Amino acid sequence: MKNLIKKNIPKSLLIFIQNLLLFWRLLNYKKPKFFCTVCEKNTYGYLTGFFPKLTITCSNCLSESKQRLISQYLKKYNFKDKSILHFAPENCMIEFINKNKIYNEYILADINPTKEIKKVDITNIEFQNNTFDLIICSHVLEHVNEKKAIKELKRIIKINGSILLLFPLIDSWDKTYRNDNIKSNYDRERHFLQHDHLQLFGREIEKELSDDNFSLKKITPFGKECVKYGINQGESLFVLEKNK
């Protein structure tokens, strides 16, 4: 039936019908229920973001999948007397971490500073070696020269410290995709999923992260866990720990 319809309807009308059906599906989208690990409430999610990428956002604290994945890990983390550096911090995560007032220091960092957020270039960090116990860096590496950034993050983390990393990953790709000829916002969105991305990571990023001084742990929620906590299937949190 589907093939018969495609053969007998003009392409322009078929495209219009497909777009109409997509719009109808969004209007009739049934909000998923899940437990948000950021605000710690049973809540409903709603779709947000831009095409082609949509994500489920908590209607209570506005957290997305990536923040819920980080907070799920941090629930077991001992914040006592820890020094924390948080890149591109989201309000929901700031509130989540500030519940743990037992930390020693909590610095918010971004290339675009505000009154509360310190200006820090992740590829040229001003802090001294072995400064922080915990670094949170979610969806930043794809926007910068990640080799310089990773080197700097490793430099400023203390021994036994942890670096939490999230980034877009095409797990079926062996190599990271780079193309210096891609310049326009339109082409960057097509090639790298977003207009301000510089690369799209393949599995080789995991080799780039781990070395003799660091161990790497990859946390990927599976099956029912994704549904229970509103986490995107296949999304991974990378935990880089400094051994020596």
Q: Quick one: which H or E segment has residue 3?
A: helix 2-8
pLDDT digits (tens, 9 = 90+) for 155-184: 999 999 999 999 999 999 999 999 999 999
Only one residue has tokens 């270039």, namely 121
pLDDT of 7 higher than 70? no
Q: Which residues contact 124 (CB under 8 A, 6 or more apart)?
A: 148, 152
* Angle 76-201-225 from CA coordinates, rounded to 5°: 35
Could you list the residue range(s) of the whole structural domain that residue 143 is in? 64-242
Q: What is the mean pLDDT of residues 6-35?
A: 80
Residue 186 burial by Cβ neighbours in a 10 Å radius (0-12, 13-18, 19+)? exposed
Percent residues over pLDDT 90 in the chain: 77
Q: Judge whether 164 and 73 are in contact, CB under 8 Å.
A: yes
Classify 177 in phi/psi space as left (phi over 0), alpha (psi -120 to 50) or beta: beta
Strands 118-119 and 105-110: parallel
Is residue 24 included in any domain, yes or no? no
Is residue 167 included in any domain, yes or no? yes
Q: If you ran DSSP here, which 8-state letter would residue 134 be given? A: E
What's the structural domain count of the chain?
1
How far apart, in whole angstroms, are the C-alpha atoms of residue 179 and residue 162? 31
How far apart, in whole angstroms, are the C-alpha atoms of residue 20 and residue 26? 10
Is residue 220 included in any domain, yes or no? yes
Q: What is the pLDDT of residue 50?
A: 57
- Whole-structure pTM over 0.75, yes or no? yes
Is residue 102 included in any domain, yes or no? yes
pLDDT digits (tens, 9 = 90+) for 99-148: 878 999 999 999 999 999 999 999 999 999 999 999 999 999 999 999 99
pLDDT of 51 higher than 70? no
* Nearest one of 74, 110, 215, 204 to 157, comparing CA atoms: 215
Measuring CA to CA, how many Å separate 155 from each of 187, 205, 214?
Answer: 34, 18, 11
How far apart, in whole angstroms, are the C-alpha atoms of residue 15 and residue 23? 12
Is residue 21 included in any domain, yes or no? no
How far apart, in whole angstroms, are the C-alpha atoms of residue 214 and residue 43? 37
Residue 53 confidence class, pLDDT cut points 50, 70, 90 = low
Is residue 50 included in any domain, yes or no? no
CATH number, domain containing residue 80: 3.40.50.150
Q: What is the pLDDT of residue 70?
A: 98
Give the number of other Cβ atoms within 10 Å of residue 235's Cβ.
19
Q: If you ran DSSP here, which 8-state letter would residue 128 be given? A: P
